[in-house]
Amino acid sequence: MNKRTEIWDVAVVGGGHAGVEAALVSARMGCSTLLVTSKISALAIMPCNPSIGGLAKSHLVYELDALGGEMGLNTDICGIQFRTLNVSRGPAVWATRVQCDKEMYTKRMQQVVKGQINLEVIEDQCVDLVVSDGAIKGLICAKAGQLEAKTVVLTTGTALRGRTFIGKEVEESAGDRRPASNDLSASLERIGFNLIRLKTGTPPRLHADSVDWSKTVVQPGEIPPPFFSMQAKMFHVEQTEAGKRKKEGKKYIEIANNNNQSKGDCNTSLLASDRENCSTWNNSGAITSSGPSKNAGFNHSSLFNGFNLSQEQIPCYLTHTNPKTHQIIRDNLNNSALYGGSITGTGVRYCPSIEDKIVKFAEAERHHVFLEPEGKDPDWIYPNGLSNSLPRDVQDEMVHSVEGLEKATFALYGYAIEYDSIDSRELRHTLESKRINSLFFAGQVNGTTGYEEAAVQGFMAGANAAIKVLGRKPLVLSRQEAYIGVLIDDLVTKGTNEPYRMFTSRAERRLILRQDNARYRLLAAAEYLGVSHESAINQTKFFEKLVTDEIARLESVRDKGVTLYKLLCRPDIKYTDLSDKNKNIPQEVIDQVQIRVKYQGYIAREKIAADRALREEHIIIPDWIDYWKIPSIRYESREKLDFVKPVNLGQASRITGVNPVDIAILSLVIKKGRV
């Protein structure tokens, strides 16, 4: 086999959402990065639904954007419909969901990867890992041979021994015509990893011109669109205000003039009055001998890579299954790969196939089917709700029984996919393997499902791989400060025996972990990494000052003897109802002021509870602890503590089966300094 002499700082295996984010953040931190993907044309594809976000998932995307990830911006640029979900409830569970043009999403992300400094992409298949003295030394590829790397990030998605199922038809595949990776699964098993089988699936794709839209209910988008990324919001507001100025003939006045902002600084202003004079929209950064500077390795010669931030939206449509549909499925369950015995892996509990819905919710007379366009020229429709593993002829009959789809023609048939994943409890909070040093895992290989869950893991794994190479302190987000922290802590502490999906209910502190405040609570982490755009960092600081100043002003100004702060606390009063409101602050600042004031009592209690939990997380479990020598801790707890090897007392308390008495005993042992 060939052996390259170059030693990569970070080698990423897999070009899905996890792999792309891992490779980009590593390269942007100044590390030489290699991305190995089996199919370059499939880099960053959306193999399942054409949307980003949704309940709790949007929190992950906002957090990723705050840290400097790419998914949020790419989604905003390629979005064809934007909606905010759960608006009838409190802000803790508000969620943004964006339908994307799938082809455009992939194309732009590939351009970002192609133009990224410090990043090289090769089309090859990783077949083995090079391990020596308990540490990763590189990888072996089918064509390139042995490649040396200081760190390796595995983001294999559904490729590990991937098998797709359409009824009794079985094919070795990672899905969407991508090859399976059998050799790498065998390599992981040889190293000692315990692999588990999981399952997911996708519905058929239908031709848009074959749907009878008159029998469906239109689902329009939201105007103005709720963007994920800070850059998109700045650009959108700038263009909106520029249009207003042009239409109304009014001179633009920067709001920052009242806040002692320097005239030429467009980083922190709400709007950029002169794009040509704003260096932060065209700033490549530099790499110095002392390490990467702010935005090192960025290529921002064109923020949107030639794509427009369009406000044009395309509606989705709603229809439903019916008793006839359900009977067709019941009559053919034995032909389903899932219920016919072909699939042994565990499926997604919270995103069930249509077979699962019919079996587990037998009393339901109908189920939603959302018809989602896959692009701006919606030739293909994604019938969300009809994921299945039924034979082709049964899929034909099932789909044609749905109102509006009686004459629908198929572009692709739905299928189920089964694949290998590792036991994520073998990972540290950095997503580095406890078994093999400098080997990181991210995405579906860790047992999760969903683009968003994969992307944030990829970002954190790539960042920590780069940090390890640079000799810096690892970045670990607590579950008290981020949904990313909740996700990773759940995986490494509790593990999963079914595909893990993020929900707001998984977060104990969801009132303070809202999607609207992600940029503020993760500001310190973003500054530490140094890959978030400088204009976004500066604007976040500026907005935080505006929020703080405005709340202080509301506490001092009175209306008929009552402070504006107290008035705003009332449930029937909005900021716009105040007699002395500040007309010179942006809407995002107003939203923050309103939420912080109205929920201040609840937020204060949540922060107290979070601080208490953080104190437990600061009690580090020393290396000399031997759980088997502490007989007062229950046997089951000793067994689980020894397997997971929690880093701190907080993590230990969250291990399933370990009770508060066990934690109290462990705390006493730590304080005593000996077993």
What percentage of the chain has pLDDT greater than the value 90? Answer: 83
Query: Are residue 343 and residue 446 in the same domain, yes or no?
Result: no
* Whether residues 12 and 137 fall in one domain: yes
Cα dist from 439 to 420, 431, 478, 641, whole Å: 17, 9, 22, 23
| Weakest-pLDDT range from 164-173, 185-194, 375-384 | 375-384
* Predicted confidence (pLDDT) per residue in 275-287, tens digit: 333 322 223 333 3
**pTM: predicted TM-score of the whole model, two decimal places:** 0.89
Strand ranges inside 350-497, DSSP E: 368-373, 380-384, 410-412, 415-422, 439-441
345 inside domain: yes
Q: Could you tell me if 499 and 487 are in contact, meaning their C-beta atoms sit under 8 angstroms apart?
A: no
SS3 278: coil
> What is the model's pLDDT at position 102?
96
Six token digits for residue 223: 């105007």
Of the three residues 254, 282, 306, the one that is the final residue of a domain is 306
235 and 382 assigned to the same domain: no
Q: Answer whether residue 512 is part of any domain.
A: yes
Give 489's Cβ-side CA count (13 Å radius). Answer: 25
Rounded to the nearest integer, the mean pLDDT of the chain is: 89
- Could you read off the pLDDT of 527-580 as tens digits, one per residue? 999 999 999 999 999 999 999 999 999 999 999 999 999 999 999 999 999 999
Domain that holds residue 666: 619-672
Instruction: Give 227-244 pLDDT, tens digit per residue.
Output: 999 998 887 665 555 555
For the stretch 645-664, pLDDT in tens is: 999 999 999 999 999 999 99
Residues 286 and 250 in one domain: yes
538 falls within a domain: no
Residue 652 belongs to domain with CATH number = 1.10.150.570
CATH number of domain containing 401: 2.40.30.260
Alpha helices, H only, 374-499: 392-400, 451-470, 483-494
Q: Are 530 and 294 in contact (CB under 8 A)?
A: yes
Any idea how long the chain is?
675
Whether the CB-CB separation of 258 and 269 falls below 8 Å is answered with no
> The tokens of 321 are what?
């299954």
Q: Which residues of 654-669 are buried (b: 16+ CB within 10 A; e: fewer)?
A: bbeebeeebbebbbeb
Shared-domain flag, residues 217 and 199: no
- Same domain for 75 and 45: yes
99: CATH: 3.50.50.60
- Residue 296's pLDDT is 39
Asked whether residue 33 falls in the same domain as residue 65, the answer is: yes
331 and 352 inside one domain: yes
Q: Quick check: is 529 in a domain?
A: no
Would you state the pLDDT for residue 376?
A: 86
How far apart (Å, rounded) are the C-alpha atoms in residues 77 and 21?
Answer: 17
The answer for 321, left when phi > 0, alpha when psi is -120 to 50, beta otherwise, is beta
Q: pLDDT tens, 605-624?
A: 999 999 999 999 999 999 99
Query: In this structure, what DSSP letter does residue 520 have?
Result: H
189 is a domain residue: yes
Q: Are 85 and 54 in contact (CB under 8 A)?
A: yes
Kindly state whether residues 121 and 195 are assigned to the same domain.
yes
Please check whether residues 158 and 193 belong to one and the same domain: yes
For 305-363, give the DSSP string.
TT---------EEEEE--HHHHHHHHHTGGGSTTTTTS--SB--TTS--HHHHHHHTTT
31, 147: one domain: yes
Amino acid at residue number 10: V
Q: Which of 387, 413, 439 is the last residue of a domain?
A: 413
- Domain co-membership, 236 together with 327: no
pLDDT at 157 over 80: yes
Residue that is last in its domain, among 288, 306, 324: 306
Is 580 inside any structural domain?
Answer: no
State both tokens at 297: 């390795």
Which tokens sit at 45? 């594809």
Question: Smallest Cα–Cα separation from 588: which of 163, 334, 234, 245?
Answer: 234
Residue 195 lies in a domain: yes
Residue 589's nearest CA partner among 580, 578, 597 is 597
pLDDT value at residue 336: 93
Number of domains in the chain: 4
Centre a 10 Å sphere on the Cβ of residue 130 and count the other Cβ atoms it contains. Answer: 16
Q: Examine residue 597 and state whether it is found in any structural domain, yes or no.
A: no
